[in-house]
Amino acid sequence: MLKKAKKSAKKTVKKVGPKLEPVKKIEPLDTITSVLAALKNLATQETLDGMAQYGIPSDKAWGVAMGDIQKLAKRVGRNHAMAASLWETGVYEARLMSAFVEEPDRVTPAQMNRWCRDFDNWAVVDTLCFKLFDQTPHAYAAVERWAEAKPEFEKRAAFALLAALALHDKETTDDKFLHLLPLIEKAATDPRNFVKKGVSWALRAIGSRKSSYLRKAAMNLAMSLAEAEDEDSRWVGKDVVRDLQKKTGKPNK
């Protein structure tokens, strides 16, 4: 009887708990081929189609969202050689990703100049300046160099980088930014859309720093530009005055 009872009890025992899914194998991202394959796998037609409305050319793009690019870059980690390989592909998303993979302390002025000459759209310019170049010790010198450039996106890079520095560098003295205001005044006459928007951005960023002296200097320059004979200078000036007044909540006196 005892043996039969044990057998009966065994039959009524049921396994409980969730069914375990097989562990997915995570492919290593240690070669440019594996990284590009992972990047392309994140592409969607919807993202690619949406780029046009932001003025981003899609002939060298796959259609990967910025958030996905950043997540993939975290998996790859900082890697100077990988960043160079990503840049050399010429693929839009790969170049964006290089900003998050590159090691800032290994970036040289020559590399910055070389990549700057490759700039062909505002999104790559702004991402590289805002997420990489402003972290290098060569940033301020690059601003002065690129402000004299002729190509539209190279020149935008000067002022996108200046904006990034004004917003991110909390240690630099007012004098450094005051020294660069004449570059803004000179470039404000440039009629090209991406340049003048970059110029406006840089002056607004300087005027937003926690320095009453810089805020006043930026507003004075903006008001002077707003009254200039040159149409493009007036556009920049009015854009900055409007933005700075909105932030302070009152008109400049």
For residue 35, the SS3 value is: helix
Q: Would you state the structure tokens that stand for residue 75, as one six-digit string?
A: 């998996």
Task: For the chain, state the CA radius of gyration.
Answer: 26
At 248, give phi and psi (nearest 5°).
-85, -20
Mean pLDDT of 228-244: 97
Taking 90 as the threshold, does the pLDDT of residue 73 lie above it?
A: yes
What domains lie within the chain, and their CATH numbers?
Answer: 32-102 (no CATH), 118-253 (1.25.10.10)
Q: Is the pLDDT of residue 253 over 90?
A: no
**DSSP letter at 59?**
T
| Predicted local confidence at residue 8, as pLDDT | 52
- Round to whole Å and give the CA distance between 72 and 112: 23
> What is the pTM for the complete model shown?
0.87
CA 237 – CA 184 distance, rounded (Å): 11
Residue 229 above 70 pLDDT? yes
| 159-187 tens-digit pLDDT | 999 999 999 999 999 999 999 999 999 99
Please give the Cα distance from 142 to 119 (Å, whole number): 14
**Residue corresponding to tokens 């708990």:** 17
pLDDT tens, 5-51? 555 545 554 555 555 555 455 567 889 999 999 999 999 999 999 99
Would the pLDDT of 136 be above 70? yes
Beta strands in 20-167 (DSSP E): none
